[in-house]
Chain A
């Protein structure tokens, strides 16, 4: 099989869509109430060093994904165990995204359609996409990216006309603690979820810069999150915002352009669909890729279908209800610590040490 490549731009687009994927509709945490936009900014700043660390891991071993890196750094046995951790994380993330997806659709519109059907369709599209290689995913993403960007910019501009600036005051009414609390939530979901990309960016074209992808992806994706959060607070205001599971959807439903052009909320759903598809595909890709590496097979594609079906099966019963799903967001921030912070840190330190110690195997640095 010829080596597949994605361009820097495609990688960037993937990352942006990945970041705004589910957060777009689920909304960022409301711990900080009308200051949650501050949380977003803080979260971006918090995530910056972490994401640079991820980029460093990618950069140290060009052309090798995280599983290969782990394998190389920790040896066979330990490497496999650690890889398994990552595979589980990617898999679990995929399950969560799929479940979010189907919950959202079945809540807003397809109330009677069984959720497993929605999940199946999503997963089949994901399998189809990744089966065509990561290149197809990259091309598709950068095509969709433009559409998504246009929709989001349009929505934000329209939301601006409905904004009530009194909703933002007073700033820091509840103190600084909730802001930090909220910032950490946003850090773990979705910003640091980009750890997944350590398995994707190894497909970057030689010469492309992984730092650039991470850096720009964070700023653009975070910027979009910020714009959406600002729009939600400005249009809806507290306390109504805190009563809603899907604030962006409600926000957009309030936008009117004249008497005829109204009810743009379907656009939010469309954007979510597109971003969610990208996110699911990336998770599928990572899971299958990791599994293939653990079992020493070269073609991850053959494993896509069973992994996807397993995703659906788990998504069916992972939460008993929607409330449980949203409650779990609070657990998730702690659950994700080892995958998002501890393991990458460990890998990075060991990798640097290994490279320093064995000059022979070192990769030339630029």
Chain B
């Protein structure tokens, strides 16, 4: 999984990011990279079997605590 994901991310970097990088808009470049690295690191962590905290139970507990559910 990590292999395939890395490949896909790499290709995105190659095909999608390079033109943006060349566009010399630093804000976009940083925004792009930060989102990109965030998602990649999540993927890698999942690939290594780390249990990431999902937002779904959190939202559920918030709603339950509000007492509607």
Contacts and interface: CB of A to CB of B under 8 A. Distances in A.
Given A117-B4, A295-B27, A305-B12, A331 B63 contact: yes
A313 interface: yes
Given A295-B27, A328-B60, A306 B32 contact: yes
B1 A309 contact: no
Contacts of B56: 318-319, 324, 328, 331
B35 A316 contact: no
A313 B60 CA distance: 20
A116 B1 contact: yes
A316 B56 CA distance: 12
6 contacts: A116-B1, A120-B8, A302-B28, A309-B36, A318-B55, A331-B63
Contacts of B42: 310, 313-314, 316-317
Interface string B9-39: 1001000110010010101100110011011
Contact of A303 (B1, B32, B59, B68): B32
Q: How large is the interface on B (under 10, 10 to 19, 20 to 34, 35 or more residues)?
A: 20 to 34
B57 to A, nearest CB: 9
Interface of B is mostly: helix
Interface in B31-51: 31-32, 35-36, 38-40, 42-43, 46, 51
Nearest to B63: A334
Given A319-B56, A335-B63, A306 B39 contact: yes
Contacts of B40: 309, 313
A317 B4 contact: no
A46 to B, nearest CB: 18
A297 B31 contact: yes
A331 B40 CA distance: 28
A317 B54 contact: yes
Contact of B39 (A295, A296, A313, A330): A313
Interface string A308-349: 011011101111100010001011001100000000000000
A295 B31 CA distance: 9
Contacts of A330: 69
Contacts of A310: 35, 38-39, 42
A16 interface: no
A114 B43 CA distance: 14
The 4 closest A-B pairs by CB, nearest first: A306-B35, A310-B39, A313-B42, A313-B39
Contacts of B36: 305-306, 309
A306 B21 CA distance: 14
A330 B56 CA distance: 12
B63 A317 contact: no
Contacts of B4: 116-117
B32 A320 contact: no
